[in-house]
Amino acid sequence: MDDYHPKKGIQHQTPTRTKLKILLLVISTNLLSIYLFSGESNHWKDYAPRIHLWDSELLLRELNSTQDKLTHSQRQLSDLHRRLATSNSLLETLLTDLGRVHGDKATQEDLDGWKDELFGELKLAVGPHKLPLGYTANLGSDELFPVLGSACRPHQEELIEYMSYKVGGECPSDEVFAQRLMLKGCEPLPRRRCHPASPKGYVEPTPFPESLWTIPPDTSITWDAYTCKNYSCLVNRNKERGSYDCKDCFDLGGREKVRWLFDNGGLDYGIDGVLSTRKPGTIRIGLDIGGGSGTFAARMRERNVTIVTSTMNFDGPFNSFIASRGLVPMHVSVAHRLPFFDNTLDIVHSMHVLSNWIPDVMLEFALYDIYRVLRPGGLFWLDHFFCIGTQLNSSYVPMFDRIGFNKLRWTAGRKLDRGIEKNEWYLSALLEKPMT
């Protein structure tokens, strides 16, 4: 668990210590000047007017001289203030320079986390924006910030490139670049004011329910971002060598046609068996995390269950394909906090995408988030979670136990094919969020 909290590098101590020394030096200089000043005006007791009530003229004179002295000491005070301000700004400059020398970020720069000053559309996208008067009560703030992942900040150069577009014009076609930013945690992305190019020769979608099992026309999307330039290329790649993400997912006549229809008593659970663990009709809405081309949602739709499918467009237009089937795609990465309300979904399913490639803490975040969005009694169907045998007992079983799901079904099995000698394992599980 200690690994989850990266320790501060040793090299950071040196500049910090030097900074501290300089800070102490400057503070003591300031103290010295304050001392000198107070020494000069050491006679505060003289300012106390010696009042003789029987001599009004003397009283006036005394008052006059007291006023003079007060004016004088006011001047001294403002001089002192000015000197302090000067030495403070000197200190700031000094620390900034010192930070630069040591490759450290300057104090001012650290304030809002951006390396350089923000300009133009990127600055607008970062905010803040003032609310109209009278609209601040519910927010506890008089400004609004557009949503932007904090992980966008370390990638300012890339963001500047991403945000160089014509406001009101056509969005640059740079999906691969955009997804790379998303995967690094810069999500949601800041580009907000342009129109995506419409595919040339777009035709209206196939009517439902035929759309569920129809490969859409090639003209339904733009192919700029992909190696394949048509759907038959995507369908045929399952016959090729080479590793792609969800290689045979676009082939609706192939393996997709039978996925989740049968329960093999092992790692493959069937949809109907899973639904039968609940009262009929009580599984109504849910989410499929990393749902490929949307087949899980299609099968659930046929059973009157509405499933939102989250997926990224790696190696293919997965999101467009899902939409063309008449299902709801959602373009978020696994690093994203799920955009659903607490205690709402009846079921969350995930196949293949959750596995040992995700850093442990991030995986635990995702699992807690699944727990959060599920309603009490909701189901989490973890489908073919991949890992190495030794990791299963050492990391993942304890992690799943920590989250707090009830186990309705639990199957760990060796990955067939090359998995045998490499001790590669799959875990399938049907988990339930407790009722209380």
Ligand X SMILES: *[C@@H]1O[C@H](CO)[C@@H](O)[C@H](O)[C@H]1NC(C)=O
120-128, 242-250, 271-279, 388-396 -> range binding ligand X (CB under 6 A): 388-396
Instruction: Tell me how far apart the alpha carbons of residues 212 and 301 are, in angstroms, rounded to a whole number.
Output: 9
Cβ distance to ligand X smaller for residue 223 or 340: 223
Residue position matching structure tokens 């104090």: 107
Among 31, 32, 60, 362, binds ligand X (CB under 6 A): 60
Judged by beta carbon, residue 169 or residue 273, the one nearer ligand X is 273
Q: Which of 22, 94, 160, 233 binds ligand X (CB under 6 A)?
A: 233
Nearest to 247 by CA among 236, 258, 257: 236
Q: Which region among 3-11, 44-52, 123-131, 225-233 touches ligand X (by CB under 6 A)?
A: 225-233
Judged by CB under 6 A, the stretch of 59-67, 76-84, 267-275, 400-408 that binds ligand X is: 59-67
Cβ neighbours around 415 below 10 Å, total: 18
Using CB under 6 A as the binding rule, whether residue 229 contacts ligand X is answered as: yes
Is residue 88 within the footprint of ligand X (CB under 6 A)?
Answer: no
- For the bound state, the minimum distance from the C-beta of residue 331 to ligand X, rounded and expressed in Å, comes to 24
> Hey, which residues between 287 and 346 contact ligand X (CB under 6 A)?
303-304
Could you say which residues in the range 417-436 bind ligand X, by CB under 6 A?
425
Q: Residue 71 interacts with ligand X (CB under 6 A)?
A: no
Nearest to 191 by CA among 200, 181, 199: 181
Dist. CA 317–CA 221, nearest whole Å = 8
Binding span for ligand X by CB under 6 A among 186-194, 222-230, 268-276, 291-299: 222-230
Least distance in Å: CB of 226 to ligand X?
A: 9
Unique residue bearing structure tokens 């659970």: 269
Minimum CB distance to ligand X, residue 395 (Å): 11
Query: Among residues 12, 17, 61, 402, which is the contact residue for ligand X, using CB under 6 A?
Result: 61
Nearer to ligand X, 35 or 47 (CB): 47
Q: Which stretch binds ligand X (CB under 6 A): 81-89, 143-151, 228-236, 309-317?
A: 228-236
Does 148 help bind ligand X (rule: CB under 6 A)?
Answer: no
- Residue closer to ligand X by CB (options 138, 304) is 304
Q: Give the nearest distance from C-beta 100 to ligand X in angstroms.
A: 51
By CB under 6 A, name the one of 11, 28, 64, 88 that touches ligand X: 64
- 38 touching ligand X, by CB under 6 A: no
Q: Does 392 bind ligand X (CB under 6 A)?
A: yes
Using CB under 6 A, pick the residue from 270, 389, 413, 419 that binds ligand X.
Answer: 389
Q: Measured from the CB of residue 425, what is the shortest distance to ligand X in angstroms?
A: 6
Pairwise CA distance, residues 419 & 386, whole Å: 10
How far apart (Å, rounded) are the C-alpha atoms in residues 197 and 224?
11
The three-state DSSP-derived secondary structure of the chain is CHHHCCCCCHHHHHHHHHHHHHHHHHHHHHHHHHHHHHHHCCCHHHHCCCCCCCCHHHHHHHHHHHHHHHHHHHHHHHHHHHHHHHHHHHHHHHHHHHHHHCCCCCHHHHCCCCCCCCCHHHHHHHCCEECCCCCCCCCCCCEECCCCCHHHHHHHHHHHHHCCCCCCCECCCCHHHHHHHHHCCCCCCCCCCCECCCCCCCCCCCCCCHHHHCCCCHHHCCCCCCCCCCHHHHHHHHHCCCCCCCCCCCCCCCHHHHCCCCCCCCCCCCHHHHHCCCCCCCCCEEEEECCCCCHHHHHHHCCCCEEEEECCCCCCCHHHHHHHCCCEEECCCCCCCCCCCCCCEEEEEEECCCECCCCHHHHHHHHHHHHHHEEEEEEEEEEEEEEEHHHHHHHHHHHHHHHCCEEEEEEEEECCCCHHHHCEEEEEEEEECCCC
Of the candidate residues 232, 277, 282, 343, the single one contacting ligand X (CB under 6 A) = 232
Q: Applying CB under 6 A, which part among 5-13, 19-27, 191-199, 223-231 lies near ligand X?
A: 223-231
**Applying CB under 6 A, which part among 144-152, 195-203, 387-395, 399-407 lies near ligand X?**
387-395
Q: Quick one: 15 or 389, whose CB is closer to ligand X? A: 389
Residue 393 in contact with ligand X, rule: CB under 6 A: yes
Pick the stretch among 9-17, 152-160, 178-186, 386-394 that binds ligand X (CB under 6 A).
386-394
**Where along the sequence are the contacts to ligand X (CB under 6 A)?**
60-61, 64, 228-230, 232-233, 303-304, 389, 392-393, 425
